[in-house]
Amino acid sequence: MTALLDRLAGRVAVVGSGIAGLVTALSLAPQPVVLLTRAGLGGESSSGWAQGGIAAALAAGDSTDLHLADTLAAGDRLCDEAAARAILSDTASAIDALERFGVRFDRLADGALQFGLEAAHSRHRIIHANGDGTGAAIIRALSTAVRACPSITVLAGIEVRRLLTTEGAISGLICAGPNGTFVLPTTRAVLATGGLGGLYDASTNPAGNFGQGVMLAARAGAELRDMEFVQFHPTALATDRRPLALVSEAVRGEGAILLNERGERFLAGTPGAELAPRDVVARAIGREIARGGKVYLDARQALGARFAERFPLIHQLCAEAGIDPARELIPVRPAAHYHMGGVVTDIAGRSTIEGLWVVGEAACTGLHGANRLASNSLLEGTVMGLRAAQDIAGRPEPAVRTAPDVKSVASPDLRQVRSIASRDLSVVRDRTGLDRAIAGLLPMAASAGPSSDPALVALSIAVFARLRDESRGAHARSDFPETHAKAERRTMTLAAIMDAAHRLNTPMLAQSA
Ligand code: SIN
């Protein structure tokens, strides 16, 4: 290992093997890169499980302006318009890059891209690769390209546990692998570690994804933004399987309807009905379940025998649960799906720490605001991977800095944190639950125990959610159902979050907060 580490020292370190990490590593070629991946190339990742496609305003009659307008509307006035415009403007080059790396998008007989429609998009603009298996097809193609790329060294089965800094700049990574803990000296790290759905019992993300990028960057002193905004997908397949399988919004797009256990179409009176914004549908389903009811997706009329052909992956996931969606109702429930907040970055992916870039779901660029528009995430991951690579390649290589001494860091244990987050930081929040979550999470986050890292991420969500005394986008407070006229974003370092948590956890002071 020592000889290998000596050879890899100083290379750009990319952490994560979802779409953003793979695109970053490939785009840096021929610059040497070390790619660290916990699950291994092609292993579980939210990108690989994506059933939606990539939002690409490239069809005749569509434009970046129209895509931007839909993105801003979904974001509930919390998007950074300039950042969103910059990212969406790169759509054509992002799709070109993916094709260059080997992704084959679904096309019509005449060779033109095939554009589908998803909720809250005003145009048909969603492109797929292999239908509802889009994420898997993209990750397969990119992983193949990475394996064939001589400038990328992949270290699989490796978890990054801490970022090391020297005088405020990145100087190395503390990594844990099958042979123990080691330090990888580097002055340039790119975190592409994905989301934090694993903090919740009901999630469509890999169970181990607890927001590692947020935790690593925050511990190194980076700023976090909009941490309270967790998007819950309304229709995960309600089974005992963990993580939950997704039943894409596209099934409702094809006309499937939602029924409760009494056979009532409970969204019939809501504008948009089953295709109302994702947070509206998730809350309506959540209410049915909270009163002890059950919710089902009925695709029998809309799709019937066509289901297997139109949605082969979802058909297979249903079959694994013993459900035939052509003839039977599909039980569904909301599940944590995507995190809009995260590590503050500019539109080159640069965080507030020198030498640290963050791309994909772990970052908060300002594209998504309070609610992500469907299929904007694979686009953002690709665009930001390209942009970060360009930014890194355009800078002189800093000299290796002496990294501080290493201590081994406990392997994270999510169990206690997951029960608190699932109960108190879910689809609808209130002050009682948020105060209870802060009281439970604060001692864990402040400890050096195995719950500390996930607790720190969950505590950040709780503090941001407690401080946002309104409902906006994906953040719903039953005690503050209104939306403030002025839309404000919040940015905090870990030190500020811990201070706020202590203040909110002091009953006398919390009364006035
Ligand atoms: C879906 O297919 O419903 C999910 C798409 C997305 O989350 O962007």
Enumerate domains of the chain plus CATH numbers: 2-195+340-393 (3.50.50.60), 233-334 (3.90.700.10), 410-512 (1.20.58.100)
Distance 53 CA to ligand 1 centre (A): 8
Number of neighbouring beta carbons within 10 Å of residue 30: 9
Distance 12 CA to ligand 1 centre (A): 31
Best of 46, 67, 205, 248 for a ligand 1 pocket test (most atoms within 8 Å of beta carbon)? 248
The distance from CA 288 to its chain's CA centroid, rounded to whole angstroms, is 26
What number does the ligand 1 atom closest to the CA of 337 have?
A: 7
Best of 246, 274, 297, 368 for a ligand 1 pocket test (most atoms within 8 Å of beta carbon)? 246
Look-up: residue for tokens 């953002």?
Answer: 380
Q: Where are the beta strands (DSSP E) in 194-314?
A: 224-225, 230-237, 257-260, 295-298
Q: Is 510 exposed, middle or buried (0-12, 13-18, 19+ CB in 10 A)?
A: middle
Q: Which of 356, 389, 339, 324 is nearest to 22 (CA)?
A: 389
What number does the ligand 1 atom closest to the CA of 132 have?
A: 2
How far apart CA 350 and CA 371 sit, in angstroms, is 22
Residues with CB under 6 A from ligand 1: 51-52, 248-250, 374-375, 377
**Cβ atoms of 14 and 35 closer than 8 Å:** yes
What number does the ligand 1 atom closest to the CA of 51 have?
A: 2
3-state SS assignment for residue 307: helix
pLDDT attached to residue 132: 92
Bridge partners, residue 33, by sequence: 12, 152
Distance 132 CA to ligand 1 centre (A): 10
CA-atom Rg of the chain in angstroms: 22
**Nearest protein Cα to ligand 1, atom 4:** 52
Q: Is 396 exposed, middle or buried (0-12, 13-18, 19+ CB in 10 A)?
A: exposed
pLDDT attached to residue 513: 53
What number does the ligand 1 atom closest to the CA of 373 have?
A: 8
Distance 50 CA to ligand 1 centre (A): 7
pLDDT attached to residue 402: 74
How far apart CA 82 and CA 448 sit, in angstroms, is 40
**Cβ atoms of 228 and 67 closer than 8 Å:** no
Question: One of 38, 188, 278, 477 is an active-site residue; which one?
Answer: 278
| Dihedral pair phi/psi, residue 391, rounded to 5° | -65, -45
Residue 278 a catalytic site member: yes
pLDDT attached to residue 508: 55
Contacts of 113 (CB under 8 A, 6+ apart): 56, 58, 59, 105, 106, 107, 127
**Cβ atoms of 496 and 485 closer than 8 Å:** no
How far apart CA 104 and CA 114 sit, in angstroms, is 12
Distance 417 CA to ligand 1 centre (A): 26
How far apart CA 361 and CA 137 sit, in angstroms, is 19
The predicted model scores a pTM of 0.96
Query: Which tokens is 507 given?
Result: 């009953």
Distance 140 CA to ligand 1 centre (A): 19
pLDDT attached to residue 509: 52
**Nearest protein Cα to ligand 1, atom 7:** 374
**Nearest protein Cα to ligand 1, atom 5:** 52
Best of 46, 118, 317 for a ligand 1 pocket test (most atoms within 8 Å of beta carbon)? 118
Number of neighbouring beta carbons within 10 Å of residue 469: 13
Q: In what order do the strands lie in the sheet with 159-166?
A: 159-166, 169-177, 180-185
How far apart CA 113 and CA 370 sit, in angstroms, is 30
| Local confidence pLDDT in tens for the 513 residues of the chain | 677 788 888 899 999 999 999 999 999 999 999 999 999 999 999 999 999 899 999 999 999 999 999 999 999 999 999 999 999 999 999 999 999 999 999 999 999 999 998 888 999 999 999 999 999 999 999 999 999 999 999 999 999 999 999 999 999 999 999 989 999 999 999 999 999 999 999 999 999 999 999 999 999 999 999 999 999 999 999 999 999 999 999 999 899 999 999 999 999 999 999 988 889 999 999 999 999 999 999 999 999 999 999 999 999 999 999 999 999 999 999 999 999 999 999 999 999 999 999 999 999 999 999 999 999 999 999 999 999 999 999 998 888 777 777 777 889 999 999 999 999 999 999 999 999 999 999 999 999 999 999 999 999 999 999 999 999 999 999 999 999 999 999 999 999 999 999 999 986 555 555
pLDDT attached to residue 398: 85
3-state SS assignment for residue 201: coil
